[in-house]
């Protein structure tokens, strides 16, 4: 069977599965898909639907959006928000979500902290514009 050009997704899934210390069989069971089907996805032979990716994401305990971007279903720019917001953030949220060395809990904590800093800065910037010295 020829590759469908989803090798990057398959490689990413395999790496995430290994980071989570799950066997192919364990992830297949957690995601509710067959072991052979998951193996074909990892080898780039099958292209999963968004629903299957969501199930796999739950099994891996990562965001479904991360898998959607890897699969080409969701554009990275769309995930990151408006272009100005993305440029100002430098892709930090995307980098945090894509880091295979962080747990989902660590990613959520970092994203919450980052968002709070951005909101604080935005409030200071708004106050400065309203009350220039």
Q: Are residues 23 and 74 in the same domain?
A: yes
CA atoms of 107 and 91, how far apart (whole Å): 14
Within a domain: 1 = no
54 torsion bin: left (phi>0), alpha (psi -120 to 50), beta (else): alpha
Q: Are residues 73 and 110 in the same domain?
A: no
Quickly state the pLDDT bin for 125 (edges 50, 70, 90): low
CA atoms of 121 and 22, how far apart (whole Å): 40
pLDDT at 83 (0 to 100): 43
* Residue-range definition of the domain harbouring residue 13: 8-78
Q: Are residues 71 and 96 in the same domain?
A: no
Which tens digits make up the pLDDT trace of 22-64? 999 999 999 999 999 999 999 999 999 999 999 999 999 888 8
CA atoms of 126 and 117, how far apart (whole Å): 14
Q: Are residues 60 and 101 in the same domain?
A: no
Q: Are residues 13 and 74 in the same domain?
A: yes
Model's pTM, two decimal places?
0.56
Q: Are residues 49 and 98 in the same domain?
A: no
CB 60, CB 17: distance < 8 Å? yes
CB 23, CB 8: distance < 8 Å? no
Q: Are residues 65 and 109 in the same domain?
A: no
* Cβ neighbours of 125 (radius 10 Å): 10
Which DSSP letter does residue 74 get? S
Q: Are residues 57 and 119 in the same domain?
A: no
CATH number assigned to the domain comprising residue 22: 1.10.260.40
Find the mean pLDDT for residues 8-22: 93
pLDDT at 6 (0 to 100): 52
Which tens digits make up the pLDDT trace of 88-120? 455 788 788 878 788 888 888 888 888 888 888
């Amino acid at each position: 069977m020829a590759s469908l050009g989803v090798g990057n997704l398959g490689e990413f899934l395999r790496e995430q599965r290994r980071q989570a210390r799950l066997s192919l069989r364990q992830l297949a069971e957690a995601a509710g898909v067959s072991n052979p089907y998951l193996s074909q996805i990892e080898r780039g032979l099958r292209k999963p639907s968004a629903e299957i990716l969501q199930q796999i994401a739950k099994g891996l305990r990562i965001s479904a959006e991360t898998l959607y971007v890897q699969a080409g279903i969701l554009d990275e720019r769309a995930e990151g928000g408006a272009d100005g917001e993305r440029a100002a953030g430098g892709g930090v949220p995307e980098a945090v979500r894509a880091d295979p060395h962080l747990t989902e809990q660590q990613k959520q904590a970092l994203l919450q902290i980052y968002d709070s800093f951005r909101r604080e800065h935005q409030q200071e910037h708004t106050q400065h514009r309203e009350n220039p010295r």
